[in-house]
Structure 1
Amino acid sequence: MEKSDPDNENVSRTAFDLTVGMAEEQLGVTVEYRTYTAENYQEKTYDEVALDRARNNMDDFYLLNPDTIQALGEEGKLADLSGLDCAKNLRDVVKTANTVDGKLVAIPQEVVVNGLFVNQDMFDKYHLELPNTPEEFLECCRVFKENGIETPVGANRWWLENFVLAQAYADLYNGDTTEEEIAALNSGEAKYSDYMRPGFEFLQEMIDKGYVDAEKAYVSEAIEGEGPDFLAQKTPIVMAYWGAANADTAYGKPDFQMKVIGFPSKRGQMPVVPLTGYGVSAKAEHMEDTMNVLDVILSDEALKVYTETNKVISPSKNVQVDCIDALKPLNDRVNENVYVLGSNASMKVEQWGNTCNIVRELLNGATVEECLAEFDRLQEESLKE
């Protein structure tokens, strides 16, 4: 979505571009933006670049991933957005995930929902029902493996944490004691490692039985590593985000019947929601203009355009999406308010990035106990702050 010259006419017409155009027209301003790969950042990750630029007050606002939202929010680098008109219409899930120290520090243009993308035709071929629980999922993998499917689950180095988070927090987010359980984790009364154990043991079993190729996953980028085998019907299961089902460059045009479901948990198929968002620098040079721009691009009017263009779930409770058939199982669960958060800024131990990194250690040969010990270490550090 690069637009490095604010005076250039915007011709790419992505969903974001359309909303920026609305802001420029309504406010009489120009908005300059560029992707992190547009300059000399190829050797750094997006998060590294975002953290560096935000900590040095180099821009007015940023599109941030969950772990950077929490880090910058805790450092006081992000402004409070709760006073924006658009904030009044937000779904509770957005407010919960992106509130740090009582301040709403980031608002997304879409609610990212991760799920399992499955080849329904291959499940039908072997008379398998779509799995709800971890036990059912492992049984499906066993049947695929015994019928010559070398790797039932295609994976990459970024997204296996969805399995862990779905099992760890299915009860926490879908029961009646969410606030109490988070408070116990933050105080040290409860241990993150106890929540994480079932998911890590589940992943280890998948690795041990060859349902996941750990060596390949450890070095594979998202979709690039597992996507070709999934589309070629060599692998029946992969994981991805909602928008991948609509994107021709991902899984938007499969030659088979595809379904997108939640990750297995004791409460059934569980969507995982890692919230991203736009955050404004606490020392933005053009603070008033920046806030006004966000109020336009995150308004119901703009979000309707964005949602209809990208076919995604809107952060506004007033904007609904007509999803494709493949996404209906996942969409139904979200509409029932059944999901786990992949990120929650009210937890002292950041979830999304830390879990991802520790899962990578598991892929690289660390034991389950070593992985859980790392969560204990992170929790102990958080208690010192």
Structure 2
Amino acid sequence: MNRGKNIKKLAVICLTGMTALALASCAGDTDPGKNLLMSEEENDRIVDLFSPMEKMEPDAENVARSATDKTVILAEEQLGVKVGYITYTAENYQEKTYDEIAIDRVRNNMDDVYLLNPDAIQILGEEGKLQDLSGLDSAENLREIVKTANVVDGKLVAIPQEVVAYGLFINKDMFDKYHLELPETPEDFLECCRVFKENGIDTPIGANRWWLENFVFAQAYADLYNGGNTEAEVEALNRGESKYSDYMRPAFEFLQELIDCGYIDAQKASVSEAIEGEGEDFLAQKTPIVMAYWGAANTETAYGKTDFELQVIGFPSHRGQMPVVPMTGYAVSIDAEHKEDALRTIDVMVSDEALQIYAETNKVISPSKNVEVDCIPALKSLNEKIKENVYVLGSNAGMKVEQWGNTCLIVRKLLNGSTVDECMAEFDKLQEESLRK
């Protein structure tokens, strides 16, 4: 399909729980090649990594030692390579996003390794621009959720360093005040909102224009990802034998009911940025429910420090509380100049040893089934679901219709007054376009 600028802007802002990507969502450099550092020493083994980091020179000392930095250093020490990575600058080119720059660089073979969002992974994977990573030793340790999300045409084209899970952030004190159990199903959720509304809470759900699609995914795909028939159902969608709109309709009807009942302020949500729009009211205990990604519970600038008991749970579905998991990942260009060293570097960066370091530093869910890290009490419920392989994917590179960005845009149409039927027509149009490819 012909994706407009809006969908390009979604990938970083909507998706990532990774701070680096969030910082890079707004703009690009007028010259995608300007910031690529070239080695002047012919004997150096250099791996060029394009991501929203700020290590300006391959052999520069990393003072900050972020989680990613530590895994890069591990690769450098074990392999004897030098990794140079840098992002585009934000002040010169306000229209181009990180995704647009990254896709352009991959197509023009400008780097070796790239940190990509799902939309870019899907586009470049379908174009055959990314190396199959399934032969890496570290790939054997990946959770099935990671493989499912990042396989395109039978090839594992990207591997993340964390699994970003979205959930409902709950003020448990307010639920206890009104003797409410944490909701499992859509019906439970509606009843909680009704009680809050009747007790003077004007808007029980604090929402923004990016993350309401999580309600949709949890309900639309609960069976697809947890019914034991995922591969066949996805293939039926890709062949046009079943319709995305049939999956999506009940979830959009539920979202419309939340709007009609006044549980969500559609007008405010349609213009509010993530956390900035609803965070103040949530922290002030004016609204009991918001939605965010795992890392926000660990971050004091988001919800890591509250004056009430915080609980993070999955979104309501007929199968119970359901985490929603989109996926970013590192990829290697199929024509990378330093391909062998790039593959070895990635293999170290996503090895169990490196992922243990990364997970302990950032307190996140690891893509490796062998790596576990203690999480804060607020996240235990969400963590247990992931460990039990109970989840839905918000992004799946195996689906011919890109999910996260497209669904976000269609949800925004609902917020701005489109009917459920009109929204379903949008999904049908996207599916028809994918079938003509």
TM-score, with structure 1 as normaliser: 0.96
Tell me the residue number matched to 2:335: 283
Matched, 1:229 2:277: no
Matched, 1:362 2:414: yes
Residues 44 and 207 (structure 1), Cα distance of their counterparts in 2 relative to 1, 3 Å cut? farther
**Counterparts of 2:259 and 2:357, CA distance in 1:** 43
Q: Is the 8 A contact 1:312 1:321 kept in 2?
A: yes
Q: How much has 1:41 moved relative to structure 2?
A: 4.3
**Counterparts of 1:39 and 1:59, CA distance in 2:** 22
Tell me the residue number matched to 2:392: 340
**Counterparts of 1:276 and 1:37, CA distance in 2:** 21
**Counterparts of 1:41 and 1:363, CA distance in 2:** 30
Q: How much has 1:60 moved relative to structure 2?
A: 1.7
Q: How much has 1:98 moved relative to structure 2?
A: 0.4
Tell me the residue number matched to 1:158: 210
Q: How much has 1:87 moved relative to structure 2?
A: 0.7
Tell me the residue number matched to 2:154: 102
Q: Is the 8 A contact 1:159 1:222 kept in 2?
A: yes
Matched, 1:91 2:143: yes
Secondary structure of the corresponding residue to residue 83 of structure 2: coil
Tell me the residue number matched to 2:169: 117
**Counterparts of 1:218 and 1:285, CA distance in 2:** 44
C-alpha RMSD over aligned residues: 1.4
Tell me the residue number matched to 2:100: 48
Q: After the TM superposition, which of the residue ranges 174-183 and 335-344 deviates more from structure 2?
A: 174-183
Q: How much has 1:38 moved relative to structure 2?
A: 5.0
**Counterparts of 1:139 and 1:68, CA distance in 2:** 39
Residue 174 of structure 2 aligns with an amino acid whose one-letter code is M
Secondary structure of the corresponding residue to residue 32 of structure 1: strand
Tell me the residue number matched to 1:202: 254
**Counterparts of 1:37 and 1:356, CA distance in 2:** 27
**Counterparts of 1:375 and 1:231, CA distance in 2:** 36
Percent of aligned pairs sharing the same letter: 78
Q: Deviations over 1:323-356 (max 9, x none)?
A: 1110011111111111111111221111111111
Tell me the residue number matched to 2:26: none
Secondary structure of the corresponding residue to residue 115 of structure 2: strand
Matched, 1:134 2:186: yes
Q: How much has 1:37 moved relative to structure 2?
A: 4.4
**Counterparts of 1:258 and 1:47, CA distance in 2:** 33
Q: Is the 8 A contact 1:2 1:38 kept in 2?
A: no
Q: Deviations over 1:22-49 (max 9, x none)?
A: 1122222222222444563443333223
**Counterparts of 2:101 and 2:192, CA distance in 1:** 41
Q: After the TM superposition, which of the residue ranges 196-205 and 41-50 deviates more from structure 2?
A: 41-50
| 1:147 aligned residue (179, 191, 199) | 199
Residue 372 of structure 2 aligns with an amino acid whose one-letter code is Q
**Counterparts of 2:101 and 2:277, CA distance in 1:** 24
Matched, 1:373 2:425: yes
Tell me the residue number matched to 2:56: 4
Q: Is the 8 A contact 1:271 1:330 kept in 2?
A: yes
Tell me the residue number matched to 2:369: 317
Q: How much has 1:285 moved relative to structure 2?
A: 2.0
Residues 45 and 360 (structure 1), Cα distance of their counterparts in 2 relative to 1, 3 Å cut? farther
Q: How much has 1:135 moved relative to structure 2?
A: 1.1
Secondary structure of the corresponding residue to residue 33 of structure 1: strand
Matched, 1:239 2:291: yes
Residues 162 and 138 (structure 1), Cα distance of their counterparts in 2 relative to 1, 3 Å cut? same
Report 1:10-21 matches (<5 A): 10-21=62-73
Residues 334 and 49 (structure 1), Cα distance of their counterparts in 2 relative to 1, 3 Å cut? same
**Counterparts of 1:373 and 1:11, CA distance in 2:** 52
| 1:185 aligned residue (213, 218, 237) | 237
Count, aligned residues: 385
Secondary structure of the corresponding residue to residue 331 of structure 2: strand
Tell me the residue number matched to 1:22: 74
What residue ranges of structure 2 are gaps of 5+ in the alignment? 1-52
| 2:402 aligned residue (314, 339, 350) | 350
What residue ranges of structure 1 are gaps of 5+ in the alignment? none
Q: Is the 8 A contact 1:358 1:374 kept in 2?
A: yes
Residues 154 and 328 (structure 1), Cα distance of their counterparts in 2 relative to 1, 3 Å cut? same
Tell me the residue number matched to 1:57: 109
**Counterparts of 2:397 and 2:376, CA distance in 1:** 31
**Counterparts of 2:350 and 2:313, CA distance in 1:** 28
Secondary structure of the corresponding residue to residue 96 of structure 1: helix
**Counterparts of 1:285 and 1:155, CA distance in 2:** 45
Secondary structure of the corresponding residue to residue 259 of structure 1: strand
Q: How much has 1:282 moved relative to structure 2?
A: 1.6
